[in-house]
Amino acid sequence: MRWCKHNPRPSQEALHQLMMVAQHTPYQFVFCDKDERIEWVNPAFETLTGYRLADIAGRRPSDFLHCAQTDMSVNQRVREDMQAGRPTRAEILNQARDGRLYWIDMDLQPVHDRQGTVTGFISVQIEVTHQVEQRRHLRESRERFKSLLAMSSDWYWEVDQNNRITEVSEGIEQTGLNRLNLVGKQLRDMDINATDPGWTAHWAIIAARQPYRNFEFCVKHPAAQQTNGPPWLWVSLSGEPMVDAAGKFTGYRGVGRDITAHRAAQDHMWTLANLDTLTGLPNRMNFNTALSRAITHAKSLGKPFALALIDLDNFKEVNDTQGHDVGDELLTAVAKRLRAALPPNDLIARLGGDEFGVLIHGEPSTPSTAGNPALTPQLDALMQAIAPPLNVSGQLRRCSLSMGVTLYPTDTTESASLIKNADIALYRAKAAGRGQYVLFRPELKLDVDRQALLVQEIEEAIRTRSLLLHYQPVVDVEYGAVVSLEALLRWQHPTRGIVSAGIFPQVFDNLGIAAQIGRLVTDMAVAQAAQWLQAKVPFNRVAINVTAADFVVGAFPTVLAERLAHHGVPASAIGVEVTEGMFLGSTAVLVLQGLAVLHSMGIEIAFDDFGTGYASLMHLKLPLDRLKIDRSFVHDMGADTDNARTNGAIVHAVTALGHRLGKRITVEGVETRCQVVLLREMGCTQYQGNYFSKPLGVQDIPAFIAAFNLAHDPANGTMSGAYI
């Protein structure tokens, strides 16, 4: 089966299940976009009409199927229902490709997006040519009609003026009902679902002796227990009153048919449209509908409610490391726990991935600095519901969740704003360390707005090339040379002048923008290295700071190789600096693969801020060429305190270990002559810090390198008094 790509459809999982149903049913399925143009039909439709999908894709059914003999009032009613976005049902006369005329019973359902806009239509049809012809023959000849019904899956029936069955044809036997046992009974006497509100309207029609069509009801299936089949049989009846020669009412007669399969298909369509197939919870569309109802209800009764958005913490790592089967099992277990933790009148839905939405009814009070006492028990119950370990694939797994909560009408009265508020609070809960819930406050939205504005400004800075690089030297005091220049990002702000990247670190949380910045920095750094090489400036190497986004989104090794070739710069003139955070989480594999490629190219790889992470010594096994000892170990060096002595011992030990492993060592944050003296005694000879130079603009680098080299005394291998 092939889809015609006009409009986005429902989820692939839902479409796949519906297509599987449609391929193995005698009912004809037709999928149209909002303009009634065909996107997909099932084999039953192709067989019935003689048209293949490739021939009719993008065409309207009315353009080639409808017959001029069709009742125009029926077409008008169907069109009005479609324009109004209402489901509709009708019998329509169509014409097949070979000219054959046939009748269909069409059930047309509109498909809505999250905002309730009609995006297309799903039509379930069944050919009813025989039924229509049989009804016509009934008017012409009762006996002929009855003989035709005897050969049909439908059946003929009659009741007297007391609604007692007097006659029923053999066709009813196909349903499992015994026609002889039905004679003499009223419908009321059968094992029907009397709670169905449709019966009230039906009895009113009977009392008024009006004709009716397609009255649907369910009756207890007599063989359900023996066959383990469906417990209810769905029946559709159409009837008209009978009168004798004197015009006296004598009862009803009509036709019936088994529509159990049709109703099952409808129910399945509803399930796919409204329930999450994995957890059985309401899906996003159902949740949005329930939220709209909750707002309407709250407005009329003046009762507030709360909306919460929930994310499972670190769920992506479960999928990446354990597989999606384990992830699905975990989601199912979590869904059961959360549902059980809520009262029956509260709603929880799976919105997609590991995100859940909750509507909490009751009497939540206005949030205050002391919290929200009325909401606290419900929110705590949700947090605690998944605190005990979950049994997933035979293993006990702990799980935590982050939750953002907003209140109606305290925070807002609009559904879209409620969802946005809860999402903002959820983001804050994650940023605060996860495993907690946060109530929305107006200042949170201000933070998000400021963040959004900052992102826009950075995107504009990328576009206008307002980002530039300064360079801070790394010097070797033993050989008196500049061994590297770390490229540091700066922003030429329109009102604040040149500012450090430290004022916009959160921008790098956006992988797309971080990758754009990474490509720009790479191009500027390599281009500058090419200029210095041409000018014979002895800079030795330019070091570029990289992020995980450079490897995940930016294909950094490929980009760097292309820039090196474009500018004619050797790989030995470039280095990259990484941090421990890049080796954590699901992106670590891509980062490690990329570093291996860079190492094979001859690019120096430096580990920045070494010594401050959780497992730094384990990272010494990685393809690293240089360790940069973090400034936090140096700033109080020389002071007579336990902390200073401990930090000094750590620096000494890391230096010795690094040298033994063949790593070059750089100490960051060197600010004083005393620090230089002590570090030299520990075997450290390469430093970076303001004692030697602050980050410099491009134009100042050649002069600094020349001055530094001049200050070195080659006679005794030590620095002149200018530095030591």
Residue 123, burial from CB neighbour count under 10 angstroms (0-12, 13-18, 19+) = buried
DSSP string for 51-71: --HHHHTTS-HHHHTB-TTS-
- The DSSP call for residue 499 is E
Tell me the pLDDT tens digit for each residue of 174-209: 787 887 888 888 877 777 776 777 888 888 999 999
The lowest-confidence range among 53-57, 486-490, 620-624, 679-683 is 620-624
- Determine the average pLDDT of the residues in 116-141: 85
Ranges in the chain annotated CATH 3.20.20.450: 468-710
State the greatest distance between any 2 C-alpha atoms of the chain, in Å, as a whole number.
136
Per residue in 154-172, is it b (16+ CB within 10 Å) or e — as a string? bbbbbbbeeebbeebbebb
Give the whole-number percent of the chain exceeding pLDDT 90: 38
The CATH classification of domain 276-440, taken from the options 1.10.150.20, 3.30.70.270, 3.30.930.10, 2.130.10.30: 3.30.70.270
Ranges in the chain annotated CATH 3.30.70.270: 276-440
Which residue is associated with the tokens 């939405």?
357
Instruction: Say what the pLDDT of residue 368 is.
Output: 38
In angstroms, the CA 331 to CA 353 distance is 9
Could you tell me if 305 and 364 are in contact, meaning their C-beta atoms sit under 8 angstroms apart? yes
Q: Is the pLDDT of residue 120 over 60?
A: yes
- Strand, helix or coil for residue 91: strand
Residues 531-535: contacts with CB under 8 Å, at least 24 apart = 532/701, 532/702, 533/569, 533/573, 535/702
Q: Is the pLDDT of residue 299 over 80?
A: yes
Residue 148 — very low, low, confident or very high, per pLDDT cuts 50/70/90? low
Give the number of residues written for the chain. Answer: 724
Ranges in the chain annotated CATH 3.30.450.20: 12-127, 132-267
CATH superfamily of 468-710: EAL domain (3.20.20.450)
Instruction: Say what the pLDDT of residue 362 is.
Output: 66
Which residue is associated with the tokens 């489901």?
87
Instruction: Say what the pLDDT of residue 12 is.
Output: 52
- From residue 621, alpha-carbon distances to 607, 615, 616, 618, 658 in Å are 12, 11, 10, 6, 11
Residue 568 — very low, low, confident or very high, per pLDDT cuts 50/70/90? very high
Strand 165-168 to strand 497-500: parallel, antiparallel, or no bridges (unpaired)? unpaired
Instruction: Say what the pLDDT of residue 687 is.
Output: 95
Q: 375 or 145: which carries more pLDDT confidence? A: 375
Cis preceding linkage at 222, omega within 30: no
Instruction: Say what the pLDDT of residue 143 is.
Output: 63
The CATH number of the structural domain formed by 132-267 is 3.30.450.20
Q: What's the mean per-residue pLDDT of the chain?
A: 84
The predicted model scores a pTM of 0.52
In angstroms, the CA 403 to CA 426 distance is 5
Cβ atoms within 10 Å of 313's Cβ, excluding its own: 17
In angstroms, the CA 669 to CA 637 distance is 11
Strand partners, 718: 713
In angstroms, the CA 197 to CA 351 distance is 32
Instruction: Say what the pLDDT of residue 476 is.
Output: 93
DSSP string for 155-214: EEEEEETT-BEEEE-GGGGGGT--HHHHTT-BGGGS-B-TT-THHHHHHHHHHTT--EEE
Instruction: Say what the pLDDT of residue 3 is.
Output: 43
Tell me the pLDDT tens digit for each residue of 389-439: 888 877 788 888 999 999 999 999 999 999 999 999 998 888 778 889 999
- Determine the average pLDDT of the residues in 265-292: 88
Residue 139, burial from CB neighbour count under 10 angstroms (0-12, 13-18, 19+) = exposed
Q: How many CA atoms does the CB half-sphere of 91 hold within 13 Å?
A: 12
- 12-127 sits in which CATH class? alpha beta
